[in-house]
Amino acid sequence: MNEQLQNFFVKWDEKAQKSVAKNPERKLMFTNASRLSIKRVYTPLDVTGDYLDDISLPGEYPFTRGVQPTMYRGRFWTMRQYAGMASAEESNDRYLYLLEQGQTGLSVAFDLPTQIGYDSDHPLAAGEVGKVGVAIDSLADMELLFKGIPLDKVSTSMTINAPAAVLLAMYIVVAEKQGVSQDKLVGTIQNDILKEYAARGTYIFPPGPSMRLITDIFAYCAQHVPEWNTISISGYHIREAGSTAVQEVAFTLSDGIAYVAAAILAGLDVDDFAPRLSFFFNSHVDFFEEVAKFRAARRLWAKIMKERFKAKNPRSMMLRFHTQTGGSTLTAQQPDNNVVRVTLQALAAVLGGTQSLHTNSRDEALALPTEESVRIALRTQQIIACESGVADTVDPLAGSYYIENLTNEIEVAAWSQIQKIDALGGAIAAIEKGYMQREIQESAYDWQMQVERKERIVVGVNQFHVKEDALRGLLRVDATVGEKQVQRLQVLRSQRDNQQVRVALAQLETDAKSTANIMPSLIEAVRAYATLGEICNCLRNIFGEYHADNLL
């Protein structure tokens, strides 16, 4: 059949060339965002490889078609809108609202001082308290944040990295006070420090001690919080910082390799912790490229876990992931158009087999989203799930010549990048040498230049303009939230048992200096209402702080 097709294709191609000579195509070269070239048409000739080895069935190695046999026929992906602002009370209101609107999981956004381990009264926190997320200074704030939300009934994802262990400790204690034991808890901490150095910026400690905190969490959760996703290895921010789709896959999986290697080096058995690793990707503008990216990432990770790390448990080989639509693809111009962008990106994530999804709101190029905008974003997911029919069969784009070819191409291109990083000494070394950062910057600049040369059209930005008034009614974070948070902190410090705090912090210091697992003493410290800043300062004194090179 292939020879026949080959001959037919040659003849067809001649005809097509003649037609192009008369009526030129829109471009001389068609490429996707990763600069892979796109052919005029794909045929069975473009899908090399073996169906059973490379594609197989859903829930079967190498999981190209998805990690479960029934996927969304069993249940839809988790609809999980990233939210949090101002005080714990206000964020709690937003969570209760989202749950009432049919959201199925929580996703907590913390403010920057929290993410960098500063209390709200630290000089560097000035102006930042409550701005990009909720301010959490101590267990007292965390208790308010989850008030009225049964932690045995919801799954909670927390975007927290450098101080992830501290926030997890707080979550465990809040649950305990609700009468929910830690083995019942379901959720995720992002806990991915490597992409913070490479792309996101909320690091505290240097790589060595940061990796130790991470492997301590792996070990602790394997024993005590078995349903918890101990890390969400994130390509999202790498992509937002400007990488291509191929780089997103390559850098993320390289970071994943570094975590697995570190945990094995710390004495853990791969199948004890690997089933709880999870991933987080971006869904960007190029629809088919994104679908293929998710499928390629799944296949690549399965192979890496099986072949490189000799995992035996299939769950260790499954790349389970959360997706967020691409924040940097939103435009401040004609913001309602963002609803359409988000719809396409969300659809790509679903066709790519995501386990959970955040859809961005139309006003996020301008501010945090209003309640109305968030509702439209959530409804977008519900329309895809309940009305479009795309969730009724597993991996419906499989077998598309284009999708399968692109899945292969992305896998090959990402694998070659991963090997390059291996040759540099792995992800940590590559980051320390500035390799990932430079690659990302190059791609970001390249993208911007494509937009400015109009090789890439962004509707409403470099074409199809209208005169428009500034969008009114944007969400504003209460300017007094910083002061209120500082007052609350002062009250806490005067009312808690400060002797108990001193004892707990002394124990934390001892454990941090030794090779003991740090989680038990962290749990005791947060239980005593030691603040996040106090805990992180204690660790800063022992671990030191990371300082980035300012690469340009």
Partner 1 sequence: MMTEGMQIRVLVAKPGLDGHDRGAKVIARALRDAGMEVIYTGLRQTPEQIVEAALQEDVDVIGLSCLSGAHNHLFAQVIELLKKHHAEDILVVGGGVIPEEDIPLLKAQGVKEIFTPGTGTLAVVEYIKKHALPR
Q: What is the largest CA-CA distance in the chain?
A: 86
State which of residues 144, 168, 241, 508 lies at the interface with partner 1 (CB under 8 A). 241
Q: Does 480 bind partner 1 (CB under 8 A)?
A: no
Nearer to partner 1, 329 or 408 (CB): 329
Three-state SS string over 487-527 comes to HHHHHHHHHCCHHHHHHHHHHHHHHHHCCCCCHHHHHHHHH
State which of residues 104, 441, 507, 537 lies at the interface with partner 1 (CB under 8 A). 441
Q: Does 552 bind partner 1 (CB under 8 A)?
A: yes
Region from 264-272, 297-305, 326-334, 378-386 binding partner 1, contact rule CB under 8 A: 326-334
Smallest separation, CB 126 to partner 1 (Å): 6
What 3-state DSSP class applies to 398?
coil
Instruction: Tokens 């390289």: give the residue.
Output: 254
Of 331-350, binders to partner 1 (CB under 8 A) are 331-333
DSSP state of 308: I
Q: Retrieve residue 53's tokens.
A: 């080895």
Region from 75-83, 111-119, 208-216, 281-289 binding partner 1, contact rule CB under 8 A: 111-119
CA separation for the pair 428, 161 (Å, rounded): 16
Smallest separation, CB 451 to partner 1 (Å): 8
* CB contact at 8 A, 349 and 290: yes
Burial, 118: exposed, middle or buried (Cβ in 10 Å; 0-12, 13-18, 19+)? Answer: buried
State which of residues 6, 17, 388, 448 lies at the interface with partner 1 (CB under 8 A). 448
State which of residues 99, 180, 264, 451 lies at the interface with partner 1 (CB under 8 A). 451
CA separation for the pair 118, 166 (Å, rounded): 12
Of 379-418, binders to partner 1 (CB under 8 A) are none
The secondary element (H helix, E strand) that includes residue 431 is: helix 427-432
Q: Retrieve residue 204's tokens.
A: 């505290």
The interface mask with partner 1, positions 281-300, x = CB under 8 A, is: --------------------
Q: Does 131 bind partner 1 (CB under 8 A)?
A: yes
Q: Does 434 bind partner 1 (CB under 8 A)?
A: no
State which of residues 104, 178, 313, 328 lies at the interface with partner 1 (CB under 8 A). 328
Angle, to 10 degrees, between the axis of helix 519-527 and the axis of helix 207-224? 80
Nearer to partner 1, 100 or 549 (CB): 549
* CB contact at 8 A, 404 and 291: no
Smallest separation, CB 341 to partner 1 (Å): 14
DSSP 161-219: -TTHHHHHHHHHHHHHHHT--GGG--EEE---HHHIIIII----S-HHHHHHHHHHHHH
Q: Does 457 bind partner 1 (CB under 8 A)?
A: no
Q: Does 124 bind partner 1 (CB under 8 A)?
A: yes
State which of residues 84, 242, 275, 426 lies at the interface with partner 1 (CB under 8 A). 242
Pairing of strands 78-79, 82-83: unpaired
Smallest separation, CB 215 to partner 1 (Å): 24
Q: Of 286, 245, 198, whose CA–CA distance to 414 is shortest?
A: 245
Smallest separation, CB 234 to partner 1 (Å): 13
State which of residues 16, 471, 503, 542 lies at the interface with partner 1 (CB under 8 A). 471
481 CB contacts (<8 Å, ≥6 apart)? 86, 87, 129, 130, 135
Distances (CA, A) of 239 to 156, 327, 342, 379: 24, 10, 16, 25
Q: Does 94 bind partner 1 (CB under 8 A)?
A: no
Nearer to partner 1, 365 or 390 (CB): 365
Nearer to partner 1, 1 or 470 (CB): 470
The interface mask with partner 1, positions 521-550, x = CB under 8 A, is: ---------------------------xxx
Residue 523 C-alpha from the chain's centroid: 26
* Residues forming the site for partner 1 (CB under 8 A): 112-113, 115-116, 118, 123-128, 131-132, 196, 200-202, 240-242, 328, 331-333, 365-368, 441, 444-445, 448, 451-452, 458, 460-462, 470-471, 474, 476-477, 548-550, 552
